[in-house]
Structure 1
Amino acid sequence: MTRLSHELPFGYEAFSAWYESLRRSALEPARQTFCRILTDEISRVEVEFGPGRFRAPQSRLKDPVRLWAKLHLPKYRNRITALDAISEVIDDLVGVRIVCTNKSDVAKIRRVLDDLVRLPAERSEPDFGVAVEEGSDRDYIREPKDSGYRAYHLNLLTGVPRIGGTTIVKGELQVRTLLQDGWGELTHEDTYKPGQEVPGLVSLLSLRMGELLATVDDIAEDIQGELARISQEAVTDTVSAPETAPVLPVIPTGVSAEIVLAEAARLVSLLDRPTPLAQISTQLRATFGPQVSTDWLGYGTFKNFLLQAVPDIHVVPKGPSYIIPPGAEPDDSWPTSLRPS
């Protein structure tokens, strides 16, 4: 256990009062802003890649007792010359985490983050919502920590209006896969902080678990890639002339073409924005079996099948090909290629 061997230029009582004031006036509003804007950005990604691959952002404010202990570590102690210096030195007073299904989904979130404005940490003009601090990226997926920890980190910045001006608040964003997040939960990664002694056996077993889960993450990535390939192949808008009589698809007993068409229509009725054809195809194949995509019940292509189910939809053959549901109006969440020029 790290000893608090150095005195700070302020006591715990003054620190506690400072932290509570900052929490109410700046940290909590910043946390809400980070989560709101990141949730909006995830919604945009889901338009292209489908829902369920990205969990809603989780967030927390740094516990004041743990922060007090952290301030006494040699890494920070000599840099804390006054209370206001704490928020300049400590990156994670606000913490936000996004959990994705697998590594390709982490890459999709990174692409969104790369589109955000990148600003130096001292930026003070309140003309942005959320920005990324320049040079704050830490890729622990490519280069894991010695403990076995894997995730992608960067610092976010936002401006919080206060009496007398705007306060820039910094927060740390972590992006992890489900398995990487599970590693943190199973090893109690948050229990042991820099400067604290971790039992040797815990370190060894945690590292081994991290390496095993990284291998499983790679396998999950391969599975996702193959499923995506199959889904896209099932909606490819090509029909080749059969050399022999067509083989009628075998679907479960009691299921008629009308039932499959009705289910397709129901799925489309739930949409309110553009959705890749492959998403609807995947849901139908999961419900009725892959046989339904054999000649799509005699309609040849998935597009023809879907137009039979919902005649007034619009199919845009751009990128993965999108369904535009009836009545949908373009907004900023639509992929750029689908917005009116």
Structure 2
Amino acid sequence: MDKKIKSAEAVEPNDKVEGFASWLKDKQSAHGSLKDAAITIIGNLVRANGIDVLAVSGRLKDIDSAIEKVRRKEYTDPQSQMTDVVGIRVIVYFEGDVKRVSDIIRRSFNVDEANSSNTDERMLPNQVGYRSVHFVCDLGDDRVKLPEFEALSGLKFEFQIRTVLQHAWAELAHDNNYKFSGSLPRPLERHLFLLAGLLETADQGFNDLSAKIDDYKIAVSDESAKGELDIAVDSLSLETFLTQWAKDEGYTFREVDREAIPARLIKELEEFGIETLAQLKDIIPHDFVKFMSQYSAPSTMLTVVRMWMIIHDSDRIASKVHHRWTVEKPLKGFLNNYFPEERVAQIVKTIRDSQDLTIPKPKL
């Protein structure tokens, strides 16, 4: 009898591994759908909350890797204990955004807090190194009631949230790079952790700088709302002013790349004689939004400010402002609201002929 019991105990782990492997194969399609659903949901949520991310990506753990982990961890119930068959990675720019994304996940998914972790909370004050936040989740009771998610009920997945610099460290020294893995000689190990400390310091520094930039933009917005515009024109103050102006006027800018206000425009304004937001406000033409909406699709901040300068004093642009742009056809009709047709033709020609050909050419 004892021999039979020992024999059953001896084969039980293999039976569980084989059963788990069979379950993984059966659920492969469902896990793939879960990965795609989680990526889409979290991507939509971070965008809706105005959080910039470097990437949202996902992966499925292959069967061999999953079985190896089951054996290494000696799982007794692999189907419930293996929580990262599906992994979703969210890479943000700043440490503050890690918390914001974490809060979104807690509000939007069913989180298994017992199996979730934050390496920062486990590290001692004198420790540096791998840092990341992990949440074990399922889609939640409400979502799995929907027909498209019914087959995903009970399936767990893992969110991993990192900053760009945390991700760089993990890729170099933790996840994939054999050169830095294992046990290094003490001098090299010390050098490695000094570098980790530098990255962590830089991460905190960028986060602090980002917060100060946000505070500055809020201050500019508050001052603008009170009509106090004796504020120097820079990329941040100009973007904040234009955003508030568009909101007040009911105008929508065309979205372009992340550099909404290039340094070139700040230089053009300086050469034009605009140094403060008050001076800029003084050159905004009457009925600008009304006429612009009739003759042009939504324009960029860059185009709008340049049109203000053209209408205010096109000759000054030709004589004072180093530029490499021309007036495109739709905007010629718009200028007819402010000038006779012959004058518009003269303005367009003057701006075209006075271009600084040493400057890389953008479009207006």
TM-score normalised per structure 2:
0.56
Structure 1 position 154 matched with structure 2 position 135: yes
One-letter code of the match for 2:214?
Answer: A
Task: Report if the CA contact (8 A) 1:296-1:305 is conserved.
Answer: no
Quote the residue 1:168 is aligned against.
154
Deviation at 1:147, TM superposition (A): 7.0
Q: Distance in 1 between matches of 2:139 and 2:86?
A: 11
Is the Cα contact below 8 Å between 1:92 and 1:170 reproduced in 2? yes
Q: 2:112 maps to which residue?
A: 133
Matched, 1:284 2:268: no
Match of 2:277 among 278, 284, 295: 295
CA distance in 1, matches of 2:103, 2:81: 27
Amino acid in the other structure paired with 1:171: F
1:221 and 2:225 matched: no
Q: Which residue of 2 aligns with 1:269?
A: 253
Structure 1 residues 95 and 227, CA gap change in structure 2 (3 angstroms): same
Question: Which residue matches 2:102?
Answer: 110
- CA shift, 1:86, in A, is 1.6
- Secondary structure of the residue aligned to 1:56 is strand
Structure 2 spans left out of the alignment, 5+ residues: 1-9, 235-241, 292-364
- One-letter code aligned to 1:45: N
> For residues 306 and 88 of structure 1, what CA distance do their matches in structure 2 show?
66
Percent identity at matched positions?
A: 19
> What letter matches 1:150 in structure 2?
R
Q: Specify whether residues 10 and 216 from structure 1 end up closer, same or farther in structure 2 by C-alpha distance, changes over 3 A only.
A: same
Q: Secondary structure at 2:53's aligned position in 1?
A: coil
User: How many Å separate the matches in 1 of 2:233 and 2:204?
Assistant: 34
Within 2, Cα distance between the matches of 1:45 and 1:284?
23
Alpha-carbon distance, 1:104 to partner: 1.2
Distance in 2 between residues matched to 1:217 and 1:174, nearest whole Å = 17
1:58 touches 1:96 (CA, 8 Å); kept in 2? yes
Give the AA of the match of 1:234. V
Rounded Cα–Cα distance in structure 1 between residues aligned with 2:58 and 2:21? 21
**Mapped pair 1:87 → 2:79:** yes
- C-alpha contact (below 8 Å) 1:285/1:293 kept by paired residues: no
Q: Which amino acid aligns with 1:40?
A: N
Residues 27, 61 of structure 1: 8 Å contact kept: yes
Q: Is the 8 A contact 2:95 2:163 kept in 1?
A: yes
CA, structure 1 residues 104+298, in 2 after alignment: closer, same or farther (shift >3 Å)? Answer: same
CA distance in 2, matches of 1:156, 1:113: 9
Answer 1 or 2: which has greater strand percent: 1
Which whole-Å CA distance do the structure 2 matches of 1:309 and 1:206 have between them? Answer: 58
2:226 paired with 1:238: yes
Q: What is the distance in 1 between the residues matched to 2:40 and 2:119?
A: 25
SS at match of 1:141: helix
Aligned length: 251
Deviations 1:134-169 (A, max 9, x none): 44441223444867111111111037679x976411
Deviation string for 1:282-302 (max 9, x for gaps)? 8337552396672243427xx
Q: Which has the higher contact order (CA 8 A, sep 6+)?
A: 1
Which residue matches 1:45?
Answer: 49
Structure of higher CA gyration radius: 2
Q: If each structure's helix is expressed as a fraction of its own residues, which one has the higher value?
A: 2
1:59 aligns with 2:38: no
